[in-house]
Structure 1
Amino acid sequence: MTDLVTGPDGLVRPLWAARDPLMQAYYDTEWGMPIRDEQGLFERLSLEGIQSGLSWATILRKRPAFRAAFADFAPDAVAAFDESDVERLMADAGIVRNRAKILATIGNARATVAMRGTVPDPDGGQRGGLAELVWSFRPLETPAPRSFADIPSSSPESLALSKELKRRGFRFVGPTTMFALMEAVGIVDTHLVDSHRRGTSGVWPA
């Protein structure tokens, strides 16, 4: 069985993006496109951590509920959550009610806020934060997979990013989760070579 299929619209996609309209829309418009702002990176990092052990389709279907429950993933707002918010979230049937992941998301928001102004920026200062840190682990080259078997689950850069985030107090940021984040936000391009989305991020050539 091929890892790619041609849809009724004539576009070539991987199997995971061809069977579910929601996943197809996500693949066609979001996955692999650059996200360079703090709030956007915090949301993706949070959802990738929450997704651990679950399917991405499950998280994507619940994403509107997650955004409502977590103040659109605004780091300052989530960092201010207290025990009453934890109990509110644990009672919210629209999200994944996992206490450890909820506490990690709140803790990661606080770590995000604390990181501001501590990461080197292109001018040599220390004005950067989460987005600058995550993007600083962009590799010198990206994979060029022709099948799912060619796509790695982690990389030296995702391992290094995981270690640095853990050092700064983040949780649920293992190297496999961080590689998935890097794929999702365009830091690496793991679109299969013959997919219609290969090279569309503008970060890497086709």
Structure 2
Amino acid sequence: MKTHDTDQTRCGWHGADPFYVKYHDEEWGVPEYDSRALWEKLVLDGFQAGLSWITILRKRENFREAFQGFDPEIIATWGEADVQRLLANAGIIRHQGKIEATITNAQAYLEIEAAEGFATHCWSYVGGAPLQNQWESLEAVPAQTEISRVFSKNLKKKGFKFCGPTIVYAWMQACGLVNDHLTSCYRHNEVRRD
């Protein structure tokens, strides 16, 4: 298991929680090019709306189990019985609208995947490579951008739900479509090389 140097300078949004530090150090901002993994993270960001990300992160394995490994081909076929089953699962966020949106989003994902590839579609918004931002403070990092607004609007046109511009931007940060590690964070240059 990788140890996390407590003396390293980091972004700071994760606080002192070791679980959250590990996520910051190993996952957040690393470019993701796998369509299914991108979709899973977008779904989880939708579940996060109104909650803290650490809540979702701590329940991620429960989500993966409940949602069949986030296999969109399986989820796209689900109906009311599956919604009720998930609403009874205390290991996940039991929000009917978000559960139903996941089913709808799986259907929309499959259409995009068949047409052009979901990863190709997502990365087209940033020209196929991570945008390299140079934020010096957390206060400088935007909650949304023009790209996330356009991206969000287009996802909604394709049938996605729980994908507003703030959710989309948080997802873009997490999946490395943008490098929003602060310039003082040791991960900024490491992620830039990925």
Pairwise same-fold verdict (TM > 0.5): yes
2:157 to 145, 156, 167: 167
Which residue number corresponds to residue 124 of structure 2? 136
Aligned partner of 1:190 in structure 2 is: 180
Matched, 1:82 2:84: no
Question: Residue by residue, what CA displacement relative to the aligned partner does 1:29-52 show, whole Å, maximum 9, x if unpaired?
Answer: 000011111110111000001100
Pick 1 or 2: higher relative contact order, CA cutoff 8 A, min separation 6: 2
Aligned-partner Cα distance in 1 for 2:143–2:50: 14
- Taking structure 1 as the reference length, the TM-score comes to 0.87
Q: Secondary structure at the match of 1:166?
A: helix
Residues 21-79 of structure 1, C-alpha deviations (whole Å, 9 max, x = no match): 11011011000011111110111000001100000000000001000000111111111
* Bigger mean CA deviation after superposition, 109-118 or 187-196: 109-118
Contact 1:186/1:203, CA 8 A, preserved across alignment: no
Determine what percentage of the aligned residue pairs are the same residue. 41
Q: Give the superposition deviation at 1:8.
A: 5.4
- The answer as to whether partners of 2:11 and 2:184 remain within 8 angstroms in 1 is no
Query: Distance in 2 between the 1:185 and 1:203 partners?
Result: 15
My pick for the range that moved more, 92-101 or 106-115, is 106-115
- The whole-number CA distance in structure 2 between the counterparts of 1:53 and 1:135 is 26
Q: Aligned equivalents of 2:190 and 2:166: distance in 1?
A: 24
Any conservation in 2 of the 1:162–1:178 contact (CA below 8 Å)?
A: yes
User: Root-mean-square deviation (CA), in Å?
Assistant: 1.7
Distance 2:131 2:40 in 1: 25
Aligned partner of 1:58 in structure 2 is: 55
Amino acid at match of 2:122: V
Paired position in structure 2 for 1:36: 33
CA contact (8 A) 2:132 2:192 kept: no
Provide, for residues 110-160 of structure 1, a one-character-per-residue CA deviation record: whole Å limited to 9, x for no partner. Answer: 111122232xxxxxxxxx222111111116843211111110111111111
Indicate if the aligned counterparts of 1:34 and 1:203 stay in contact, CA closer than 8 A: no
Q: Distance in 1 between matches of 2:18 and 2:37?
A: 23
Amino acid at match of 2:75: V
Deviations 1:69-122 (A, max 9, x none): 00111111111212111111000000000000000011000111122232xxxx
Contact 2:134 2:183 in 1 (8 A): yes
Q: Go from structure 1 to structure 2 and tell me whether the alpha carbon gap of 1:8 and 1:168 turns closer, same or farther (over 3 Å shift).
A: closer
Q: Does 1:155 align with 2:155?
A: no
Unmatched segments (≥5 aa) in structure 2: none
Q: TM-score, normalised by structure 2?
A: 0.92
Mapped partners of 2:35, 2:50: distance in 1:
25
Size of the aligned set, in residue pairs, is 189
Q: Which runs of 4+ in 1 moved over 4 A?
A: none
Instruction: Give yes or no for contact 1:189–1:199 (8 Å, CA) kept in 2.
Output: no
Matching residue of 2:16: 19
